[in-house]
């Protein structure tokens, strides 16, 4: 029997149709109601008369109808590409064509007759081959997510039903998700984070409190949502915690129902971290490390009783996960030292949909002995496994703990010296008046690159660039010291995912011209 998310949901809906499945826009959608929406979407899908296994695209804002549409595709064993709705139309067209999608489906809104809106995908000669013949079955393709795509076209990451099954099993058990549990869903629907927030929860019989994407940066709305619904599990990028801290400063709202609070996707600033125990007085706090390609890989539980650690350890591999450190020369680093983090997880993709993109990102290594195999081997067993190169540089300390050093691609050359902009960000972040910081490399004819720091301080704070330079003098080498520092009080530019958008943190004159004035 194939273990399927759709079957697990259907069983929940049959057993307890009155149980709450979704909290959305102030009302509750029960398992029975969500299953009715799913049936409606499934009927619309059937009307298209697609051959089995032919992929579709799903494009829509997060809503109960959109979730029902995903459930319908899962139930139909139909692979689907779920990209960000914020991508440019041309990019979306290219991605849908690459995935071999026959139609792009959107949930119908406004309560019309049609259960969904289907638009055929026009395919050109230069399009990708679509899904391989092996797409069906438990090790085939269910979800197709995309990487955030900092350069070029986002890459399509196919996830197998079996991988998703193993991940949702882990997540529900780890964070106590089941009937009676309410889980916040902050991320947009196309995010891998939803595999935990939404899909683990619906499989396990819990209830998803959905954040409206359009109001995701409205602190007062977020506070109300959390307080009104007694949310037990929260997983989000650090931005959510900053918004909650700022929005509760005046009235002192607390969230005693939260039992598990997880930060992921970016490094959480110590200034946010140390305020979490006050905000969530009964919670355990975790930092989760993962990539779309591998899903969650490492986890660290904070002990915040003595304040926030400056360097957040990346933590330990999840059950069944293998984490290796590889030097720039390609040697395994066993003891203390630095290297790129390379992982294999029971949840991971077999590789990008476009096979040519796998070179250099997916590598075959012999698996170490005693890996604690937590599930079937996605790569067909044997002594070797296909590992994913994360692009993250980690340091293993003498005591065996590992901390993130930065992205391999965050290293820049300043006057011939290799500098990590993230090391500089970390040093600036250690100043107590700094809320957030972005350090970016600006092309410079003389130096190759020079560093620019955009720093956010508290409203009315006395911090200025000179004080920051004095703060950094003992912490940074001269090549690491930013050439220019801009101190602001407004939030730094963010990507739709809530990460700092470094491209928009360049000095003003660099955003329009490339030449240094």
Give residues in contact with other proteins (CB under 8 A). 444, 446-447, 450, 464-467, 469-470, 472-473, 478, 481-487
Residue labelled with tokens 């929406």: 37
Q: How far is the CB of 479 from other proteins (least distance, A)?
A: 9
φ, ψ at 457 (rounded to 5°): -115, 170
Beta carbon nearer to other proteins, 361 or 475: 475
Give the residue with the Cβ less far from other proteins, 114 or 473: 473
Identity of the residue, 5 or 429, whose beta carbon is nearer to other proteins in the bound complex = 429
How far, in Å, are 22, 114, 177, 205 from residue 30 at the CA level?
7, 22, 17, 11
Give whichever of 276 and 463 is closer to other proteins, judged by the CB atom. 463
CB of 28 or CB of 483, closer to other proteins: 483
* CA distances, 421 to each of 50, 103, 407 (Å): 49, 42, 9
Shortest distance (Å) from residue 463 CB to other proteins: 9
Min. distance of Cβ 424 from other proteins in angstroms? Answer: 10
Q: Report the side by side order of strands in the sheet with 27-30.
A: 27-30, 20-24, 207-210, 182-185, 233-236, 260-264, 284-291, 295-301, 316-317
Of 6 and 476, CB closest to other proteins = 476
Instruction: Categorise residue 415: left if φ over 0, alpha if ψ from -120 to 50, beta otherwise.
Output: left
Question: Measured from the CB of residue 507, what is the shortest distance to other proteins in angstroms?
Answer: 12
**HSE (side-chain half, CA atoms, 13 Å) at 336:** 3
Task: Specify whether the CB–CB gap between 341 and 407 falls below 8 A.
Answer: no
**Could you tell me the two tokens for 52?**
């089995």
Which one, 418 or 478, has the nearer CB to other proteins?
Answer: 478
Q: What Å distances lie between residue 102 and 54, 59, 187, 403, 423, CA to CA? A: 7, 13, 27, 44, 46
- 496 vs 336: CA distance, rounded Å: 37
**DSSP H or E segment with residue 247:** helix 238-248
* Cβ 433 to other proteins shortest distance, Å: 13
Considering the complex, what minimum distance in angstroms separates the CB of residue 415 from other proteins? 9
Q: Which is nearer to other proteins, 391 or 461 (CB)?
A: 461
φ/ψ of residue 344, rounded to 5: -125, 135
Q: How far is the CB of 453 from other proteins (least distance, A)?
A: 10
Residue (188 or 482) nearer to other proteins, CB: 482
Quote the least distance from Cβ 465 to other proteins, whole Å. 4
Residue 69: in which H helix or E strand, if any?
A: helix 64-75
SS3 state at 381: coil
Least distance to other proteins from the beta carbon of 494, Å?
23
Residue closer to other proteins (CB basis): 2 or 470: 470
Pick the closest to residue 43 from 104, 99, 118 (CA basis): 118
- The nearest distance, CB 344 to other proteins, in angstroms, is 42
Residue closer to other proteins, measured from CB, 49 or 460: 460
Q: Are 291 and 275 in contact (CB under 8 A)?
A: no
Provide, rounded to whole angstroms, the least separation between the CB of residue 466 and other proteins: 4
Among 144, 220, 229, which residue's Cα sits nearest to residue 185? 229
What 3-state class would DSSP assign to 510? helix
Least distance from other proteins to the Cβ atom of residue 469, Å: 4
- For 154-201, the DSSP string reads PPEEE--HHHHHHHHHHHHHHTT-STT-EEEE-S-TTSTTHIIIIIIH
C-beta atoms surrounding 417 within 10 Å:
13
> Toward other proteins, which CB reaches closer, 56 or 476?
476
């Amino acid at each position: 029997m194939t273990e399927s998310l759709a079957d697990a949901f259907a069983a929940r809906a049959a057993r307890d149709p009155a149980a709450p499945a979704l909290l959305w826009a102030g009302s509750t959608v029960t398992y029975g109601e969500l299953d009715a929406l799913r049936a409606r979407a499934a009927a619309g899908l059937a009307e298209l008369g697609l051959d089995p296994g032919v992929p579709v695209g799903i494009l829509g804002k997060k809503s109960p109808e959109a979730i029902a549409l995903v459930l319908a595709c899962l139930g139909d064993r139909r692979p689907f590409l779920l990209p960000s709705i914020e991508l440019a139309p041309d990019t979306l067209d290219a991605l849908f064509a690459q995935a071999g999608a026959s139609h792009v489906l959107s949930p119908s809104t406004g309560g019309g007759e049609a259960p969904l809106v289907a638009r055929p995908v026009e395919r050109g000669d230069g399009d990708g081959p679509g899904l391989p013949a092996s797409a069906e079955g438990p090790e085939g393709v269910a979800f197709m997510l995309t990487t955030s795509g900092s350069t070029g076209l986002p890459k399509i990451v196919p996830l197998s039903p079996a991988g998703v099954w193993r991940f949702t099993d882990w997540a529900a058990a780890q964070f106590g998700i089941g009937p009676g549990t309410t889980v916040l869903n902050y991320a947009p629907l196309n995010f891998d984070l939803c595999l935990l927030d939404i899909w683990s929860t619906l499989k396990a019989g819990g209830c998803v409190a959905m954040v409206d994407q359009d109001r995701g940066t409205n602190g007062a709305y977020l506070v109300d949502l959390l307080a009104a619904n007694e949310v037990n599990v929260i997983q989000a990028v650090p931005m959510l915690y900053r918004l909650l801290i700022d929005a509760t400063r005046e009235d002192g709202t607390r969230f005693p129902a939260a039992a598990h609070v997880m930060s992921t996707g970016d490094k959480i600033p110590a200034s946010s971290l140390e305020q979490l125990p006050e905000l969530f007085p009964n919670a355990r706090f975790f930092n989760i490390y993962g990539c779309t390609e591998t899903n969650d890989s490492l986890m660290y539980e904070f002990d915040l009783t003595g304040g926030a650690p400056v360097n957040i350890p990346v933590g330990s591999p999840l059950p069944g996960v293998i984490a290796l450190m590889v030097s720039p020369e390609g040697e395994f680093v066993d003891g203390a030292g630095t290297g790129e983090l390379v992982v294999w997880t029971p949840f991971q993709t077999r590789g990008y949909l476009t096979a040519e993109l796998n070179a250099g990102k997916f590598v075959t290594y012999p698996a170490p002995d005693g890996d604690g195999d937590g599930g079937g081997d996605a790569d067909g067993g044997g002594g070797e496994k296909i590992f994913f190169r994360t692009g993250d540089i980690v340091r293993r300390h003498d005591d065996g703990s590992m901390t993130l050093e930065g992205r391999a691609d965050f290293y820049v050359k300043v006057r011939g010296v290799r500098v990590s902009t993230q090391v500089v960000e970390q040093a600036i972040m250690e100043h107590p008046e700094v809320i957030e910081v972005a350090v970016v490399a600006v092309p410079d004819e003389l130096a190759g690159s020079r560093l620019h720091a955009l720093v956010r301080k508290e409203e009315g704070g006395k911090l200025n660039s000179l004080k920051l330079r004095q703060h950094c003098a003992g912490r940074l080498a001269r090549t690491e010291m930013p050439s220019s520092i801009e101190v602001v009080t407004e939030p730094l530019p963010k990507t739709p995912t809530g990460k700092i958008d470094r491209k928009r943190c360049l000095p003003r004159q660099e955003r329009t011209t490339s030449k240094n004035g």
